[in-house]
Amino acid sequence: MYELIDAFPKQLEEALAIGRAAKLNAPGGPFTNVVITGLGGSGIGGRIAAQLVAQEATCPIEVYNNYYLPGYVGKGSLVIACSYSGNTEETLAAMHEALGKGARVACITSGGTMLELAREKGLDHIVIPGGNPPRTMLAYSLVQQFFLLKHFGIIAGDFEGPMAKAATMLANDKAAIQQAAKDLTAKLFGKRVIIYSEAATEAVSIRFRQQLNENSKELCWHHVIPEMNHNELVGWAGGAKHLAVVLFRHTSDHERSQVRMEINKEVFARHTEHIHEVWSQGDDAFARQLYLINLGDWVSYYLAEKKGVDPTEIAVINMLKGKLAEVK
């Protein structure tokens, strides 16, 4: 796991090369909507990409993590199906539904049934390297989302330059990022973690939560500002000393959300002293989001190490898949 997290900047560069070399069909369109379907480590890249391009996209982009798709999906839709193994049953079911509805379907996968189906039906597809836990291959699946969104005319801006620049920043700042992650890990050890961010960074918070779940074997939760100010903030009446808050922050967060965060900290402090702010670094949104992702990945690894658990072990997920396979 250490080597795979350490390789994140290099993976971003390799993913850019894969995307540039991809052979895709004529884009067609225009599209009235985009739905990205995928689960877990395969699906989070779509959620991050959708948030990063939200202000630029020419049509709505929705992320669906289920067996089915929204009712509006049809001939004017673009459906991006992402399954690292190519065998994720929920994503394959959604993919078949998309084809049945006449939607344009594009795939991101390393192989399996999805790749076979894409080749059989002549669907657009980008093949990424296989053989590793899906959550460790985020760089590959994330970058391909941008290539597909640009190919199909959903976005027009340059993402390759900012992505390459961010990869260089992460590589150059590796020691500082690791040290920041170790410092935060020491503060979180033995606590129940709650992750907050502005709504535009929710996908990164979800990624951190998922990494703590899988790598660190930790239960935790996340919420976003301003929405949590209308519900969960009241729940802090039941706060406790064993809770630790991690606030992912950007200097670019909405000015009113910044004010809200400062007031929220006062509420949290009535119940716990463990309030930790993580400020992003980088010159643009790509760099700032990727910085938080990389730092969060390191925290999940160091926390697993501190707890003495194997960050690669997911026996309970494999058990679930095995039992599902018995049900026809």
Q: What tens digit of pLDDT does each residue of 266-324 get?
A: 999 999 999 999 999 999 999 999 999 999 999 999 999 999 999 999 999 999 999 99
Beta-bridge partners for 35:
62, 79
Beta strands in 110-255 (DSSP E): 124-127, 192-198, 220-225, 243-249
- Written as one letter, the residue type at 44 is I
pLDDT on residue 57: 97
- What does the pLDDT look like over 177-215, one tens digit per residue? 999 999 999 999 999 999 999 999 999 999 999 999 999
Q: Is 89 a catalytic residue?
A: no
Q: Any catalytic annotation for residue 165?
A: no
Domains plus CATH for the chain? 2-162 (3.40.50.10490), 174-307 (3.40.50.10490)
Nearest to 235 by CA among 189, 206, 271, 187: 271
Query: How do 104-109 and 124-127 pair as beta strands?
Result: parallel
Separation between Cα atoms, residue 215 and residue 305, nearest integer Å: 9
From the list 10, 75, 242, 321, the catalytic residue is: 321
Annotation says 101 is catalytic:
no
Instruction: Kindly name the residue from 23, 230, 323, 328 that is annotated as catalytic.
Output: 230
At residue 275, what are phi and psi to the nearest 5 degrees? -125, 115
| Residue of 214, 218, 223, 274 marked catalytic | 214
> Which residues pair with residue 125 across a beta bridge?
107
What pLDDT is attached to residue 103? Answer: 98
Specify the pairing of strand 192-198 against strand 104-109: unpaired
Q: What is the mean pLDDT of each run of 10 residues along the chain (328 residues)?
A: 97 98 95 97 95 96 96 97 96 98 98 97 97 95 98 96 97 98 98 98 98 98 98 97 98 97 98 98 96 98 98 93 89
Burial letters for 88-121: b for 16+ Cβ neighbours within 10 Å, e otherwise? bebbbebbebbbebebbbbbbbbbbbbbebbeee
Neighbours of 260 (CB within 10 A): 18
Q: How far apart are CA 9 and CA 168, in angstroms?
A: 7
